[in-house]
Amino acid sequence: MPQSRSKPKRGDPAPTKGIKRAAPPTRRRVYARDLPLLDLRDLRIALIDDNEFATTLIKRLLTAMRVSQIFTCSDPTLAHEAIGKAKPDVVIIDLDMPEKEGLEIVRDIRRGRGTVAKDASILVVSAHTDREHVGKARDEGANWILVKPLSFRSFYEGLVRVVLDDRPFVEQGSYAGPCRRVRTIAYDFSPDRRGAGKKSETA
């Protein structure tokens, strides 16, 4: 004859199954090494790229980073007009475009011939991986250069480095842009802090 289980009385502690363990502490996710998770919601981006696929990808990446103010222009000849209307915090420029190259747009901005301040933050993207193209973009005054194809991690890293780049703007000889004497920028951020930290620079 099977034994009947007694019903729990009111006030008795609820039965437990197994052993309860404390939940492991959670850590704020960091998208790239030594870079913080920034709140980019208020960032205004002007994207100059004639490639429809690249534009769609970058917009999706920015949306995933919670950036909602994205202004695009696919015609490089209208780039300055589009940038002027956008009033962006960061200008993202593709190098390879017909009729007007991205380097020319960067050069115009840095020489004060654009519709934004010549010390505006500029992030260059390019399908060229050779040192010559990267060096030209740097010599024209770009804050940072990224190579296509872009991943979420590489794009976030480049964007954060541009946003946090506080190198002094210099105009010397034929060069205008962020000081190039700073060759490496290492950010020392705690994952538990958002948008605040210590930056060490090496000349």
Cβ neighbours for 95, distance < 8 A, ≥ 6 positions apart? 101, 102, 103, 124, 125, 126, 127, 128, 133, 137
- Strand, helix or coil for residue 15: coil
- Range among 5-14, 73-82, 123-132 with highest mean pLDDT value: 73-82
CA 103 centroid distance within chain: 20
Q: Which one of 3.40.47.10, 2.70.98.60, 3.40.50.300, 3.40.50.2300 gives the CATH number of domain 44-202?
A: 3.40.50.2300
For the chain, give every domain's residue range. 44-202
Q: Confidence class of residue 19 from pLDDT cuts 50, 70 and 90?
A: very low
pLDDT tens-digit profile of 61-89?
Answer: 999 999 999 999 999 999 999 999 999 99
